[in-house]
Each structure stands twice: as C-alpha cells, then as structure tokens.
Structure 1
Amino acid sequence: NHWVEHLRHSPELHDKIEFEVAITTYSFDIDEKIEKLIGDSLSAVEKSEFKQAHLEQTKQLIKGDGSGSIGQALDNINALSRKQRENGGLKQDISSLFNMVDNCIQLGTIPFSILARHGFIARTILLSLKHRAILTNDEVNQIQASVKTVASDLVDDMHSLQLGELSNSDFMERYGHLRPGTYDIMSHRYDQMSNLSDGLVSSHLEQCVDFFKLSKKQQRQINQLLDEDGFEDFNANDLLNYVNEAIVGREYGKFVFTRTVSDMLELIANFAEEHGLSRDEVSHVPLNSLLNTVKSSSEFTIEEQLRELSSQEAEKHDISVAIRLPQLLVDQAAVHIIPFQVSYPNFITHKKVTAKSVVLYSETDGVLLTDRIVIIEGADPGFDWIFSKKIAGLITKYGGANSHMAIRCAEFGIPAAIGCGEQRFDLLLKVNQVHLDCAAGLVNPIY
C-alpha cells in the first residue's frame, strides 16, 4: 500500500514504476532506495530481510541457468523460431491457429516476459552504478548505444537493400512480418508495403558501434561491490556482458514472437476474406470467439456467425472509445470526474534538437522523415524502419523508460521523449516544428 499511495500522489510516475516507485530487484544503491521508497513502513529487521531476498533472487537470475535465466528463455524463443520455419507461416490454414496461439504463449510471450524482466534488472544495475558515481550518464548512454540488437541488423540490411547488396525477397524473409501496430490486423506488414526502403539511410549506427570498455578503476570498483555482495566467480566484465545479453535477448525475443502474432493476424484476415468479411469487420471479433466458431458446428454459416459477432463487438468498441478515463485510475471518483494528470516523458540521450515534425501513423505513405522529429503514438517494434531514415528525434505518446523505442533510441543515439502523455501529445499534433532538449527535460511545440 505504501507504493500505491506514492503512485496516487505522483500519478505521472505510472510508466516509471520499476525505477521510481517500487523496488523490484537488487541494485548497488538499494540501501538508498529502501530509505527513499520504503521509509518507516518496514522495521530495520524487515528492511534487512527485504534487501537480502532481492540480493539472492538477483544472484540466481544473473548467474543461474534455470527456468528464469536468459539462456532458458532464449532456448524457448529459438524453439518457437524453429517451429515457425517448420510450419510454413502463412502457408498454414485456419486450423493451425490453435497450435500457433499455444506456441506463441508458451514459447513466445512467457519467455519474452522473462527476458523483459532481465532487461529491467540490467538497466536498474546500470543506473545504480551511475548513482554510485562509478559510471557517468554519458557512459551509461554509451553502453546502451554499443549494444547491437535486431534493430541494428534491420538498419544495416535496409542499407544493403537500397544498395542492391541484398535482395528484396531475402530482406522480407527476415523482416517482412513486422508491422507498425504489432497487434493491429488493420496495419500492413513490411512485406505489404511498397515504399518501405525509400529515402536516405541513417548514419547513426556509424556513431555508436564501439563496444564500451570499463576502465581499470571502474573494474576494481565494480569488483569490490560484487565481492561485498557475495557474487562468487563473477566480475565487472561478466556484469557488463549480462547487461548486453539482457538487452539483446529482450529485443530478439520480441522480434521472434511477433512473427507468430503477425502470421496469425494474416491467417485470420485471409479466413475472414474467404467468408466475405473485411479486415475491419473481423478486427472486432475476439480471438476466442473466432476459434470457437472455427471448431464448433452451427445452423448458421461461418459468415453469419462472424458478422453477428463483429456487429456486437463494434458497438462495444464505439462505447469504450467514447468513455474517457485518466491514465491512472485510483478511485471510483475518477470515473465521474477525470483528474488532470500530466505525464513526464522519459528522455533518451542528453542531446537537443529543433526541427520540423511529422506525425506518423501505420503507413509510410512516402512521408519525408529525413531530419524530422517523428511523432508516433506507441513504442512499437513495427516502427523500427524509421531508424533507417535519418530522423532528427522521436516523440511517443505512450511508452516507458525501458520500452522498445526507448532502447532503440539509446542504441542509435537519437534524442527522444518517450511517453509524453495525452495532453502534450495533442499539442504537438497541432504544430509542424518542435524543440526537444533531453538534457533539460523539455519538449515544446513551436508555433
């Protein structure tokens, strides 16, 4: 309840819970966090037990090889990747949807959630080293920028595609499943876009490829902390490797399981079309209802059943869209009178830029992105193609400090304001130029 009350009084922290509200893992500054975020809510003995429990859990996660380890999660993700190749993706029929859903959950989203947890642990550890003055803020940024993920590969391969060094079929075989709006059946996949590789390729990668190396002094300082906390046979370089593996693993896991999600959406769209329904109509049908329709017999045709479901769910959707709620719902009163809640963005890098802005939805539509600040709603991997354009900055409506786009912008050294909230986002939609100062924590429309 202590943390809930903290969040109630500081609702702008709703997307920063892991870092500024709750203590969910061990870090090298956990003592200071306990005093700040727990205070007198626990006794001295309870605080000691709390700290020790997190320490032992973190040791097991970082050094372990069990069900919660990076290695085990990646084994499952790789098993899903093998099944994707064996089963033929879009060559399957609608009856395959049942196994695809199960595989996606067991070998995709659950392992990904484990990898995402490791990603949070890795970032928390980095920030604690900064808090202990072992790393500077620039060095934390450099570490994140030196991590090469699947997004780096995408930009490299898009460059090769434009230069004619990589065929379109080879490019689409790997990246064609991505779509701006991972779970949106209305959003086109990369392999359904004709102008994906138009424009200039970003040069950001060339600025951020050097792998960060700890100085001798930093190694000694980190090794001392590890020894004090009982990390046996584990040194500073091992810790840095863990951070790298956690960030890379998280993004790779998402990349793989979203292929299954994307293929499922296409199977559903094709099935709907065969029975006379558009993508828009079937987009309203819940997955469980669609699966039940496929496997059960009825006096009504599949088209009649799906069309009726679509109509009912579309009405519910219209009602839900008409209801406005705060970003954080803490009591019943907020349903009737919506409190004014302002989000504080998560700023990436310490750069600043003033540039023309462009609002991007699900399609490229030949929009010029070069030297523009791109504005999008969500932090979605389907928008990774924007990093192949020489964008000046990025602003999103939603997204947290360790979200997909936050990691991407840190990797490419792109100034960004992630999760700026509804009020600020709506203001930015009304202008065509924006000033973004990440060091000062400013994102201002220019009229």
Structure 2
Amino acid sequence: MTINSSLKLMNNDISTKSNMLKYLQKKLQCSKIEKIIDFTTLEWEKNHARILDDITKNFDSKVIIRSSAIGEDSFENSQAGNYTSILNVNSQSKIKLKQAINSVIESYTKKNNINDNNQILIQNQSLDIITSGVVFTRTVDIGAPYYVINFEDGSSTIGVTQGSINKTIKIFRKSSLLKLHKKWKSLLNSTNEIELLLDLDSLDIEFGITKSLDIIIFQVRPITSMPKIKNTKIDNKINSLIKSSTKKYRNFKKINKSCNLKPIFSDMSDWNPSEIIGNNPNLLDYSLYDYLIMQKAWHKGRSKLGYQNMNNSNLMTKFGNKPYVNIEASFNSLIPENLTNSLKRKLMKYYFDKLSDQPQLHDKVEFEILFTCYDASTDSRLAELLNYNFSKTEIKKIKKSLINLTNDIINNFPKILDECTKSIITMKKNRKNIYANSNMRKQNYFQKLETADLLLSDCKNFGTTPFSTLARIAFIAAAIFKSFLSKQIISIEFFEQFMNSINTPLSEFQSDLSSYYEKKLSKKEFLNKYGHLRPGTYDITEIRYNKKNIFLGDFYFNKSKSTKIKNLEINKLNKSLEKFELEFSTTNFLSFVKESLIERENLKFEFTHNLSDALELITEAGHDLGFTKDELSNLDIKTILISYKKFKKNELKKFWSKKINLQKKKYLINNFFVLPPLIFSENDFNFINYFISKPNFVTSKSQTSEIIFLDDENHDIDLSNKIIMLKNADPGYDWIFTRNPSGLITQYGGVASHMAIRCAELALPAAIGCGEILYEKLKSSSKVMLDCKNEEIIILENNNNDEMAKVRKTLKLLGYIK
C-alpha cells in the first residue's frame, strides 16, 4: 500500500481513534485492545438512554470514557491529549456515565471542534499494567530507522528531578530480537504486526504491558512531524553502517586482548569531545580537535606530571559522525607511572568494572571512579577496593603513590606555571612575526594555507600541549577543593565566595566591554583582543566576533565580587592540608587553585586565537579556490595541509571537490545512524540504551524562569532573566553572560569544564552535562525550576509540540501513570 492509499484508509475507514482501534481489534494476534463501545455525539443527542443501557449491559466494572474526535489523530496533525477523557467511571451508574460523557463532549466544544461525527469511546480499564509508554516506529525528528520506546515501569510519575526522567531505548528496525528482553520482543512483534496491517512504518503507538507480558494497545496514530524520506534506501545504508562499526569495534577488541579488557567508548569522559565539538561535528571540526589535542598533546601534558606514558595511543575515535573517547587509553593515562604493572592492571580492571556497573558516571569518572590525585575523599574511596580483591598492602601502595604524585605536582607548580606563561608569550610573539613577515592582503591561496599551517603548528606546540598539562593541574586543584567541601571542612558559602572571586579572561572581557560602552576603549581595540572568538571554536562555519558583533548590543552584565574570604575557614583549611599530607609550603593552596584555573583559561584564550586565525585563512584560501565555508567543513585538516603542497591549483580544486562531495554524502547518511552515549559491546550499535546522567550543579541557588534553547540561528533573541539551554559551549559562547541570563543548562560538560568554571565565577546557577535524554526532554519545556541546592530540575510548563508530554497525558487519563 502506498502512502496515498494509507492516507485514504486513514481518512475513511479509520479516521478516528475509536475507528482505528476497532479496525485493528478484529485483526490483532500479537496484542489486544480492550472491549469497545462507541457512538457519535449526534447519536448521543438522539438516543442517550439506549446508549446508557448498552454500556451497563456490556461492562460490569469501571470504565474509561475517552475522546475520539474527528481530526484528533490524522496524517495531517496529532491532537493527542487535547480533549478530556475520564477514568474509573462506574459502569453501572447511569448518572455518572452521563456526566462523564457530557464532560468529554463539552471538551470538544471548548476546543471549537463541533462535529456531529465526533465520537465517544468506552473501554474497560486494563489491569495489572507493569510498563506503559509509547513506541515510535521511526525517530520523530528525521525518520531514522529505529523503534524508539519511551516507557515507565509501574505507576511512578515522570519527574525531571535529580536527573530522573522517563526511560528510553532505541532499536534498529532490522535488528534480530533474540537478545532483547522478553517484554520488548513481545512489544516489537505487536508493533510489526500493526505496521503490516496498516502498511505504514511511521506510527506512534501507545501501549501497556501486563504482569503476564500481554501487550495492550491504547492508541495508534501516524507520526505527523516526520519528513518524507526513501525509507528502504536509508534503512539499508544504516544496516551497512552498523556492520562496519561492529567490525571496527572488533578491531579494538583485538588490540585490547593483551590487557583482557573489552573496549569501552564514551562521548562525555575525559576530554569530552561532545562538549567541545558536539556529538555530530563536521569533518574539519573533528580532525582539528584530533590534530591539536587528541592525537598527542593530551598524553604529552599528562606524562610530564608523572602519569603513565601513552605515547602511541590516540584518545579519540568516531563511529558514524559521533566522536568518542577511548576509555582504555584515557584510564591508563591517569594511572601514576611509578605503580607496579600488576597494580596498574588491577586498577584498570576495577575502573572498567565500576564504569560497566554504573555507566551514568561516565562524565564524572575522575571524581567517582578513577584515582588521579590525593584529596580529602581519597581514603574513603580507596576503602572500596577491599571489595574488589585489593589487599590492604596494595591500597597503601596506591595511596602513597597518589600522595607523592600530588605533592610532586604541587611542588613543581611554580615552574610549570612559569613555562606556561612563557608558552603564551612565545605563541603571541610568533603569531605577530608570522603576520609581519607576510602581506596578508596580497597572499595567494598557497601562502594563506602555509600561514595557517604555521599557526596550527604553534597552536599545538605552545598552546594545546602546555594547556593539557595545566588543565590536569587545574582539575587536581578543583578536586582537592571540592573534597574539602564534601567532607565539610569548608562551607558551601566559602567555596562559592572563593570561586566567585576568580578573575579569568571572562572577567577581563566584561571589564573591557564595559569600557567600550563607556567610550574608554575603542571598538577596534576591543575587537583586536576578542574578535577571534567564535561560538564553536573548531567550527569553520561559525562567524567570529569581529565579523558578526553579536555581543555589542545591550549590555546587562553585573558581577558582584566577593570582598573578603573568611580567615577562620582559611585556618581550618590549612590545618587540613597538613593532616592529609599535602605539601603546600612553597605554594599557597588557594593561590594554587586560583592560578591554575586562571592560567588554564588564559592558555585556552590564546591558543584559540591561533586556531581561529588559521580557520579564517583556510576560509580565504577556499574562497580563492571557489569553495564556501560549508564545503570546506567537509575536508579534514590533514587533507588540507598535505594536498595544497602536492597539487597545482586546478588539480587541487578537483581533488578537494571530489573529497567534499564524498564526505557530504557520507555525513548525510551518518545523520540517520543513532548511537549511544556509551559503547560497551557490539550489541550497542543495534540496541541503544540511555543512562540517566546526573547534571553537575553549580552554586546552591534556585531559579525559576522561562527557558530559551540557544542554537546557531537565534543569537539575537532576548536572554535576559531566562535560563539558557546550550548543547555544548566553549569560550566563543561567553557573550551569553553579557545578556543577564538567570541560569544555564547544557547537554554536555563536566565538573571542571569551561562553562562550569564560568558559572562558578559569576555565581550563576547552572546544570552542566545533563545528558541526551534529560536535555531533549527539557527542550520541549517552556518553564523550569533550576534548583541547584537540592540538585533538581523540575519542568513547570511544556510546549504544545511535546509529543511525549501528550502521550503521558493520555496514559495519565487512562490511569496507568500518576
């Protein structure tokens, strides 16, 4: 049956909820639909006495009076949850039945749907439901070939509190169901049957599953928001992608065979690529991040501090378009070098086991799983090793190693800080010399690419490599400081007051912006300093500040700086440092925290200048060769930096054109390839599980406000007194803090991420790193309460287009959730 014939069937024979259910009720073998009596509003008006008699004769328990209006569920739109339904009506009380039926009819009138053919649907209320929810037979955004099951177990309420939310799994449509839980096998067998009966594979099916694993169908409607695509072609391509990804995973398995650990990949661990370049980056973004940090700089910076050297390991890989951190390389690189090999292997097994048992911790591994330094919480955390066959002697060795590692880093900090300062000076000086030795305006494409190559080389040598070292030190400083808070050695007031006293480049940005508005600083001076920033540091398609002055609008920024740090708490802190054997004799602890965080941000600010300038030169060279920014984003940096030296101009244009066209097609197909936040096995390419991430809450404040989802297209909207939602954010998004937001929520990001530090500095309530499921749910809300003190995000109001909210309303009316 074609889409048109399906549409005709829908519009004629099964044009309402009740007609659809009756049509299916006679044919279903794998599921069931409760007994139905229905009638039109006209029939009710003419003969309600006979209808009431029919109901009392046909039902002997409580019933549900459901809406079934014309147009409520059609190909054109869905009005799920738009009309009243009433549950737990006594089927033997004609008075109560009449009242309930009239209430449903009145809801039609209120919504201005006055049609004599609108129906009322009467059904038994299903008993013993253990799971209820909705299955979409394709993803509702782009129609990717996955069954999407949003469900709740029992009768618990979905609450977006402490990161909890309705559960979701996605299953590739062509997957074998043999490895699935029995209830999902039953559900998908039922779903397949309905698809075949309707000859339609874009459906929204509300279901319940009983204790005996019977499938009850409550509602079936077409998905109205999905774009039309050639399903079979896409499905086959995704099937091929799954096979090639499975093969790639097996290759990692062979590499890991020697250490007896199965490969694990995470999108939010360690250097958190999803936060920096997003979970669906262009090829150029990915390759630049890989070239500048994830190939070598990341491990060079760590091994310098006394961690295990991972010289031949690349930290990042990708499946489809999605970047992942290789957990084996990451965890190994954070083990002290001076431990014995047997202890290193034993720690790695413990780390892998714990992450496998608690996957929701993958964005917090350095605080919750790994031992990367010594702090006030280390002893209590080390005690857990006794449950994993570590002896007391082994635990003592690990503790001693961590104390020595941490103290070596503390004692060497002044020297490292000095080296980083010199790196910044060298990078700035070299950048200036590069520009002085070349006439930028008269450069041809070759010279522009040559200059970009020099800038990127300096960016790596004097920027990202020392940044990797300092980022680790800043993390250690933050970990020690937070451990004193968790052990109640310091108060939350002291912690927040101190973090708010830190002056990073953001503070300078705000100060200089204020000077600009007060005409103390010229626009040219301001842009010379900050013009290189762009939202999306590695993204060539993003426009720099000096090309699009998005931040030079109204200026709202206010930051109240802390005036005094309590001496009493500083004394208590210093005594604790001695107790935990941390040697802060040559370096003051609070200075260690402050200076490491500030210098980390300074290095980031400077190396992104080189990167941004290189991207501009690549853009200009591309323009000279006839390519747009969007086209250039489909090239990897290695191709760009090698090919311009290898080919003459016309040959280069042909070579790039071929590469770009191939990558465009590949990227487009990869968009339909759904991948999980964590990959533990080959099965994870077919069956996508989501783990509820607990956000990293910043400050102890609570804020209730409208919520604004910010993307690349809506920079000019009013953000004042709104809670901003961003998928991922880097220094290029610091302009948002000039718009007086009331809070920030991000999908990606960790405890010590860029935005976490920024929000702490500004005392702005934030939830950093909510994860995909919670973030997508929040995108459909219009008003939330961000309660950082109690670590909750509570949805207060939803948008009208939230499909799951509509489904929940129906299930709630049916009595299956509260």
Q: Is the 8 A contact 1:397 1:425 kept in 2?
A: yes
User: 1:347: Cα distance to partner?
Assistant: 0.6
Aligned to 2:426: 79
Give the Cα separation in 1 of the matches to 2:729 and 2:693: 15
Q: Number of matched residues?
A: 441
Report the CA distance shift for 1:232/1:319 in structure 2 as closer, same or farther (over 3 A): same
Partner Cα separation in structure 2 for residue 30 and residue 365 of structure 1: 43
Q: 1:65 to 1:369 in 2, by over 3 A?
A: closer
Would you tell me which structure has more helix in proportion to its own residues?
1
TM-aligned CA deviation for residue 220 of structure 1: 5.0
TM-score normalised per structure 2: 0.52
Instruction: Indicate the residue corresponding to 2:320 in structure 1.
Output: none
**Compared CA separation, residues 228 and 23, structure 1 to 2 (3 A):** closer
Distance of 1:159 and 1:37 partners within structure 2: 53
- Alpha-carbon distance, 1:288 to partner: 0.5
Which residue is 2:364 aligned to? 16
Question: Take 1:397 and 1:111, find their aligned partners in 2: how far apart are those partners?
Answer: 28
Q: For 1:387, what is the secondary structure of its paired residue?
A: helix
Relative contact order: is structure 1 or structure 2 higher (C-alpha 8 Å, sep ≥ 6)?
Answer: 1
The residue aligned with 1:223 is: 575
Tell me the amino acid that sits aligned with residue 437 of structure 1: D
Counterpart-to-counterpart distance in 1, 2:514 and 2:481: 32
Q: Which of 604, 610, 613 does residue 263 from structure 1 map onto? A: 613
Deviation digits for residues 272-326 of structure 1 (CA, Å, limit 9, x no counterpart): 1111111000101001101122110359532211111111122222233221111
**What is aligned with 1:212?**
565
2:557 is aligned with 1:202: yes
Aligned CA distance change for structure 1 residues 63 and 166 (closer, same or farther; 3 Å): same
Q: Any idea what SS the aligned residue of 2:678 has?
A: coil
Once residues 630 and 620 of structure 2 are traced to their aligned partners in structure 1, the CA distance between those partners, rounded to angstroms, is 12
Provide the secondary structure at the position in 2 that maps to 1:64: helix
Moved more, 86-95 or 113-122: 86-95
Deviation at 1:133, TM superposition (A): 2.4
Name the structure 2 match of 1:108. Answer: 463
Deviation string for 1:378-432 (max 9, x for gaps)? Answer: 1311100111111100011111111000000000000001111111211222232
Measured at CA, do residues 391 and 65 of structure 1 come closer, stay the same or move farther in structure 2, by a change above 3 Å?
closer
- C-alpha separation in 1, matches of 2:389 and 2:602: 39
Unaligned stretches of 5+ residues in structure 1: none
**Could you tell me which amino acid in structure 2 is paired with residue 222 of structure 1?**
N
Counterparts in 2 of 1:71 and 1:43: CA distance versus 1, 3 Å:
farther
Query: What residue in structure 1 maps to residue 328 of structure 2?
Result: none
Q: Sort the Cα spacing of 1:230 and 1:302 in 2 relative to 1 into closer, same or farther, 3 A.
A: closer
Is residue 53 from structure 1 mapped to residue 401 from structure 2 by the alignment? yes
- CA separation of 1:298 and 1:440: change in aligned 2, threshold 3 A: same
- Structure 1 stretch displaced more, 329-338 or 274-283: 329-338
Specify the alignment match of 2:384 in structure 1: 36
Q: In 1, are the aligned partners of 2:376 and 2:580 still within 8 Å (CA)?
A: no
Distance 1:108 1:232 in 2: 27
**Post-superposition shift, 1:194?**
3.3
Residues 16 and 38 of structure 1: CA distance in aligned 2, closer, same or farther (over 3 Å):
farther
Change (3 A) 1:37 1:382: farther
| Alpha-carbon distance in structure 2 between the residues aligned to 1:251 and 1:123 | 14
Distance in 2 (CA, whole Å) between partners of 1:293 and 1:211 is 58
- In 2, Cα distance between equivalents of 1:152 and 1:66: 23
* Identical residues among aligned pairs (%): 30
Query: Of residues 508, 519, 532 in structure 2, which corresponds to 1:164?
Result: 519
| Contact kept? 2:471, 2:600, Cα under 8 Å | yes
The answer to which of 12-21 and 161-170 deviates more is 161-170
Instruction: Report the more deviating stretch, 252-261 or 97-106.
Output: 97-106
Return the index of the structure with the highest Cα Rg: 2
**Given that residues 377 and 397 in structure 1 are in contact (C-alpha distance below 8 angstroms), is that contact kept between their aligned partners in structure 2?**
yes
Q: Which runs of 5+ in 2 are unaligned?
A: 1-348, 441-446, 799-818
1:255-278 deviation line (CA, Å, top 9, x unaligned): 111111111111111111111111
Choose which of 362, 376, 381 in structure 1 pairs with 2:726: 376
Q: How does 1:88-167 map to 2 (within 5 A)?
A: 88=435, 91=440, 93-167=448-522
Shift of 1:54: 1.2
SS at match of 2:794: strand
CA gap of 1:301–1:415, structure 2 versus 1, over 3 A, is same
Deviation at 1:356, TM superposition (A): 1.3
* Compared CA separation, residues 147 and 37, structure 1 to 2 (3 A): farther
For 2:471 and 2:492, the matched residues in 1 are separated by 22
